[in-house]
Amino acid sequence: MRRVTKKLLLTILGLLFIGLYCEFLIYYVVVFQCSWPKLVNSTEGKVLKAFVLSDTHLLGPYRGHWLDKLRREWQMHQAFTAIINTHQPDVVFVLGDLFDEGEWTDDKQFNAYVERFYKLFPVPQTTKLHVVMGNHDIGFHNRIRKRALQRFIELLNAPTVQHLVLKGSHFILVNSMALEGDSCNMCAEARKEISLISNKLSKCSKDNKFCEFGGQNLNYSRPILMQHFPLYRISDSVCTESDAPPLPERNKLFRLKIDALSKEGTDFVIKNLKPRVVFGGHTHHGCLLKHNYGKIDFLEYSVPSFSWRNRPDPKYMLVSISPDEYAVNKCGLPMEVTMIATAVIMLFCLVVYMFRMKTLGR
Ligand SMILES: [Zn+2]
């Protein structure tokens, strides 16, 4: 082969490999480093594997640059499919703010939004996908249009309150904006649903004959609560995780019912549901809190955003759950700076290699 042709071929192959590694393989390399947490007392068949993510904030027709939109969606799609292929979860929970501009879109734009969401985050038939509403999906409480609420419920199969039973564990998915505490239809419906679930679980906890859920007879176990807002807290200053908000943002006081649930809304949902663990999103940062409401002890996890638009190091959680126990692993995704540095270093190595070929006359 002529020397020039060989060099050109090697350069093209080198560039193709760099593109393949930095835009595809790197997600697998990072995702592979995280694994499902082990449960001590549960046999493999009884463990539900849940992949939890939040705040994907897909850009809509109004905000952001098209290139930013394209880039972030590519990154999230690659990361999501790498996680699904590597970890094969039984269920995926998306904790709200799927869309950035859901509340502003008309029906046609929203339909296209939903289609894009399912295209970017595909799951195999063996994996279930459940979502909860975020304020960016339908608006904050006072700005929710009836139609915006209705279409989210219909197209994403996400009622204001959902009670799921998966591998014997109870999950309650709640629309946070419905815990405002006033007499709006959505709020009244949410409270009624939560009270009904509370009664059913309470009866089941006292007598096993009341533990039939969806045709299955189960033993009682405390439910897992999934929603968008954090529970009542006055700021993120109580968060000590390494991915908590940076200072001084961490000490900024929360506006209740906007940044977190009100004290009253939190008391209502906790006293009724008595969750064993709570997952939320909304802040885009990590936080782990130990709560004690009377005799109800539980941990609350704030799940950081899954989008590179919201943080340089997006995260997700792998949660192993059985009716008796659960364990959580928080996993990272490649940082943007790492991806850029890797591409630059690989390009530099390719240039040096080609230059050496030239000087050695190969
Ligand atoms: Zn939000």
What is the DSSP pairing of strand 169-174 with strand 161-166? antiparallel
pLDDT recorded at residue 353: 84
What is the CA(302)–ligand 1 centre distance, in A?
12
Residue 361 pLDDT class (50, 70, 90 cuts): low
What is the CA(42)–ligand 1 centre distance, in A?
35
pLDDT tens digit sequence for 93-115: 999 999 999 888 999 999 999 99
| pLDDT surpasses 80 at 215 | no
Task: Give pTM, 2 decimals.
Answer: 0.93
Residue 1 pLDDT class (50, 70, 90 cuts): low
| pLDDT surpasses 70 at 241 | yes
pLDDT recorded at residue 362: 56
pLDDT recorded at residue 360: 65
Q: Measuring CA to CA, which residue among 280, 277, 278, 283 is closest to residue 244?
A: 283
Determine contact, residues 233/254, Cβ cutoff 8 Å: yes
What is the CA(135)–ligand 1 centre distance, in A?
5
What is the CA(357)–ligand 1 centre distance, in A?
54
Q: What value does the mean pLDDT of the chain take?
A: 92
Domains of the chain: 3-360 (3.60.21.10)
What is the CA(329)–ligand 1 centre distance, in A?
23
Q: What is the CA radius of gyration of the chain?
A: 23
Give all strands (DSSP E) within the chain, no chain letters. Answer: 48-53, 91-94, 128-131, 161-166, 169-174, 212-213, 216-217, 224-227, 277-280, 287-293, 296-302, 315-321, 326-332
Q: Is 341 helix (H, G, I), strand (E, B) or coil?
A: helix
What is the CA(69)–ligand 1 centre distance, in A?
19
- Cα–Cα distance, 259 to 174 (Å, whole number): 16
pLDDT tens digit sequence for 33-51: 999 999 988 787 889 999 9
What is the CA(300)–ligand 1 centre distance, in A?
17
> Phi/psi class of residue 36: alpha, beta or left (left: φ > 0; alpha: ψ in -120 to 50)?
beta
Q: Is 223 helix (H, G, I), strand (E, B) or coil?
A: coil
What is the CA(157)–ligand 1 centre distance, in A?
19
pLDDT recorded at residue 322: 95
**12 contacts: CB under 8 Å, gap ≥ 6:** none
